[in-house]
Amino acid sequence: MDKYRAYEHRIRADLKRVSTAEKAESSRRYFPHGIHCIGATAKDIKSIVADFHSDYSGLSANEMLCITEHLLKHSQYHEEKLVAFALINKFVKNNYDDDLLSRFEYWLEHYADNWSLVDDLCIKTIYQFLMARPHLIEKTQPWAYSKKSWCRRGSNVVWVKFIKRKIGKSTYCLNKALVFKNCDVLIEDEDEFVQKSVGWLLKATSLQHEQDVIKYINNNFTRMPRSTIRYAIEKMHAKTRKQLLALTK
């Protein structure tokens, strides 16, 4: 048995040990299109990852990345992929080169099969990676043109924490023109979860550029599902929300 297979079996055994049918049923409620899960919570996964790091503290960042890719390739359950992503979270800020960004794109296109995996990878792992490499933040924009809907969703989700973000002693501000360009590309996407990500990105943008988002909605509401608009205006004043929702009647 090769060493990566041994790590895989260790993690799978850990997941099986903490899983229950009740947890699995609870998780499935959030996935109307179905999900293959074993029944482990976010707290369980965090504990499993912490124990793995403790027991294998001698593994290098590159070795951990190899384990992550092995797990993703051979995963049977949703939670195994979440563990795989989490294994490298503590390494991505100070290790690896810029080329890892292309691996993230590959993972979104080949291993993500639900909104939770996209969001977990983008909001946790890729976020930490980009915090140390702000010059790469705008390089994710081509993901919006991916043939895979989960990667297209990722192109929006990966930006929601970078509309305005303090990084070190400076403040990074994402070019708002890029935000609206992404929305233009995906505003009529056929996938509901891509549509929801458009609303999420607009909502995050509205906290810094509310009038620009209001103008964008006014100019594009005929192309936007009502649910996308509802996401986008969630943080706005009640009167403004009412006015913008009235456009869809």
Domain membership flag for residue 3: yes
| Number of independent structural domains in the chain | 1
Q: Decide if 162 is inside a domain.
A: no
Is the residue at 195 inside a domain?
no
Tokens of 110: 């080949």
The verdict on residue 118 lying in a domain is no
67, part of any domain: yes
pLDDT in tens, 135-170: 999 999 999 999 999 999 999 999 999 999 999 999
d(CA 62, CA 51): 19
Chain segment 194-241, per-residue pLDDT in tens: 999 999 999 999 999 999 999 999 999 999 999 999 999 999 999 999
Any residues with CB less than 8 A from the CB of 70 and at least 6 apart, and which?
A: 4, 5, 7, 8
- Rounded to whole angstroms, the Cα distance separating 99 from 219 reads 38
In order of 71, 119, 174, 245, the CA distances from 189 in angstroms are 31, 18, 23, 20
For the whole model, what pTM was predicted?
A: 0.94
What residues make up the domain containing 46?
Answer: 1-91
Q: Give the pLDDT confidence score for residue 3 in this predicted structure.
A: 83
- Compute φ and ψ for 183, nearest 5 degrees: -65, -40
The answer to whether residue 31 sits within a structural domain is yes
Does the residue 11 lie in any domain?
A: yes
* pLDDT tens sequence across 83-128: 999 999 999 999 999 999 999 999 999 999 999 999 999 999 999 9
Is there a domain that residue 47 lies in? yes
